[in-house]
Chains A and B, each alone.
Chain A
């Protein structure tokens, strides 16, 4: 077992276990914490694949931003000691069947597919390349999506302020 294999399996194990815990834990704050672990592990996978910038973004934005946001909202909307009620058994069974069936279908398909895999380029992606890619307008340039995303973020910001604002009435 190579190093990478070991690392991958480790991260995957963390991801799978904590994902499961996230969706099953009855304490909501713990669930958020478990989600945080999943996100950490994911960023670990990115590191493993040498996408350092992406991994950093994942850590800061996801783990740092979104999870914190979620935790805040949890604190705003529920008591710490509250336990989530267990969903009805039928519901769980149906959901499990759907999920397992979907998973089996996808996994089967994946395993049956032959991918043309390139040799691994261990070089890290230089931050400059990313910057250029973000701002260039030619082929493999992402200036337009970049702008759209910035507008979207602005819109989301304004929207959430308006939504969360207390109404006068």
Chain B
């Protein structure tokens, strides 16, 4: 056995950095904080690589499969006799893979931010929270049990909240941060209920027990039906609700586009590469149980598929480049969810699982790259809107090149990373469900279309009237772009089937060209249409938009989902629940209490009247009393 106990430092380093930079605050020069944060993440990045090396290549396999290793574990809290929360490190293929993804992207984003955030007022705060985020995200992926995951899940949510609301003087940022937190919090409630049901039924939080071959989840809680589904199915659905919230699945996606109010590096790190895939990771983590509950898995597949289509449609209509990317992220995560949903368990059957993880991995690179590139563009032109851009390829050569690579990767053009992972997903979908498969073909085409729409709009076309000539970003910003571009180019060649599979058993992969070639063609078609429409400025696109009429307007307005939510929260919850409750409390409950006091007052006032000081009234009362008593004792009460 190899001692993995050092892995706890992967958690502790960012935590320490957070505490130190958080407490010292603005006492140092901002750059010092930035360097501390970046160094910390750098060390973490090395640690993650080292761990991955040791895990995949040094650690002996058991029966040909990668083992699940508990690096270190502490008991944090005893709940019941059986249930206790541990804080520890669990290493298995997906968690190690996630470690690499997170530390790489986070490290790159740290470096990038030194350049991007230069001169911002909250520089130290930014890096401090970034460390908190890294800490939470790492804690989430290496969780040994579902409760640890929930703990870090919440922490991830709050760091996301803090980062989205980074520009706290901007009302839209504040609103977006609130929205993100509350929507995910609502989803987390589902997650929590799921955990409660699961832990009660199985008597454990532990992932190794839960997802092992003899998981209590397979046996207990099956017979008990509630509304036609077994307890375990319900629990999985609730847990998926949590995952759907974090991963911005329809209908809990509304926070993600707004989350783009945060600084762009944050969008790259949190809202593209790491946090939003937490939901996918969660489903993957619980996959054996999901697989056992086929009806839950079916829902995962359909939610994922629908979201990918839905988001792709919206992405085609947006003008804010970060929003286009946000919807593209949603769409890609939908892909991952779908892949999980159509996956079987073990060996070739688990192709979808592998594909999902693979896509998660490659997506992290090219989507982070896209966001960072978008950041560089925004940095250069101080605008988010693509109709205020054009012809930038002359001014931003490095950004242009890397951005193009990323666009090709996401569109699924070989040999870039996206092609391989997307292809595997399509294969898995093809074998499972033809309808979903067809849908994904469509989405692949749309993805290529909207990415290149973005690309051409920004880098080609006519120059706009910029306030000052756009210039290439500093090296701290271009370096991460280059690194990630290299990743996006070559990540596809990593033999994922050998490393990350549903049952940790490697299997041979082979590209099904019968599916791959049409998908490439579709992507090329999408690119072609985009080229026709947007390479030269023309108004054909506007004509098409007008022709589509109502549908275009609906898509442009994100199908009015926000309005529906706003209606439910602002109108119904605030006006028809909260306000009546407040009123009820003031007037009915408190009113009753005040009424008691009032009645007491009135009664006492009346009684006070008896003590009027009027001697004759007293005498009258006395005499009447005497008479009454006499009457009573002499005439009435005579045995």
Contacts and interface: CB of A to CB of B under 8 A. Distances in A.
- Contact between chain A and chain B defined by CB under 8 Å: yes
B634 interface: yes
B508 to A, nearest CB: 112
Interface in A77-125: 91, 94-95, 98-99, 101-102, 105, 109
Nearest to A87: B616
B631 A98 contact: no
A95 B634 CA distance: 22
Interface string B602-639: 00000000000000100010011011001100100000
Contacts of B616: 91, 95
Contacts of A99: 623
Given A91-B616, A95-B620, A102 B634 contact: no
Q: Is the interface of B mostly helix, strand, loop or mixed?
A: helix
A102 B620 contact: no
Contacts of A102: 623, 626-627
A105 B616 CA distance: 21
Contacts of B626: 102
Nearest to A91: B616
B634 A109 contact: yes
A102 B624 CA distance: 8
Interface residues of A, number: 9
A101 B627 contact: yes
Nearest to B614: A91
A23 to B, nearest CB: 13
B620 A105 contact: no
B496 to A, nearest CB: 103
Sort chain B's interface into a size bin.
under 10
Contacts of A91: 616
B627 A98 contact: yes
A94 B620 contact: yes
Interface in B70-104: none
Contacts of B620: 94-95, 98
Nearest to B621: A98
Nearest to B626: A102
A105 B624 CA distance: 12
Contacts of A109: 634
Nearest to A104: B627
A98 B634 contact: no
Contacts of A94: 620
Contacts of A95: 616, 620
A99 B620 CA distance: 9
Interface in B97-140: none
Nearest to A94: B620
A91 B616 CA distance: 9
A99 B623 CA distance: 8
Nearest to B634: A109
A102 B620 CA distance: 12
B623 A105 contact: no
B623 A98 contact: yes
A98 B630 contact: no
Contacts of B631: 105
A75 to B, nearest CB: 24
Nearest to B628: A101
Interface in A28-59: none
Nearest to A102: B627
Contacts of B623: 98-99, 102
A120 to B, nearest CB: 30
Looking at A95, A98, A101, A109, the one whose CB has the most chain B CB atoms below 10 A away is A98
A89 to B, nearest CB: 15
B637 to A, nearest CB: 14
A101 B624 CA distance: 9
Nearest to A112: B634
B512 to A, nearest CB: 109
A91 B624 CA distance: 14
A165 to B, nearest CB: 25
Contacts of B627: 98, 101-102, 105
Contacts of B624: 98
B325 to A, nearest CB: 90
A95 B620 CA distance: 7
Nearest to B627: A102
Nearest to B623: A98
A91 B630 CA distance: 23
A123 to B, nearest CB: 36
A73 to B, nearest CB: 18
B617 to A, nearest CB: 9
A134 B631 CA distance: 38
Contacts of A105: 627, 630-631, 634
A105 B627 CA distance: 8
Nearest to A95: B620
A103 to B, nearest CB: 10
A102 B628 CA distance: 9
Contacts of A101: 627
Nearest to A109: B634
A101 to B, nearest CB: 6
A113 B626 CA distance: 20
A101 B629 CA distance: 13
A94 B621 CA distance: 10
A168 B616 CA distance: 33
A94 B624 CA distance: 10
A95 B626 CA distance: 14
Contacts of B630: 105
A94 B616 CA distance: 11
Nearest to A103: B627
Nearest to B631: A105
A10 to B, nearest CB: 30
Interface in B313-331: none
A98 B618 CA distance: 13
A36 to B, nearest CB: 24
Nearest to A99: B623
A101 B627 CA distance: 8
B376 to A, nearest CB: 97
B307 to A, nearest CB: 85
A95 B622 CA distance: 12
B359 to A, nearest CB: 97
A4 B626 CA distance: 35
Looking at A91, A95, A105, the one whose CB has the most chain B CB atoms below 10 A away is A105
12 contacts: A91-B616, A95-B616, A95-B620, A98-B623, A98-B624, A98-B627, A99-B623, A102-B626, A102-B627, A105-B630, A105-B631, A105-B634
Interface of B: 616, 620, 623-624, 626-627, 630-631, 634
Interface of A: 91, 94-95, 98-99, 101-102, 105, 109
Given A98-B620, A98-B627, A99-B623, 15 more contacts: A91-B616, A94-B620, A95-B616, A95-B620, A98-B623, A98-B624, A101-B627, A102-B623, A102-B626, A102-B627, A105-B627, A105-B630, A105-B631, A105-B634, A109-B634
Question: Nearest 6 A-B pairs (CB), nearest first?
Answer: A102-B627, A98-B623, A98-B624, A101-B627, A94-B620, A98-B620
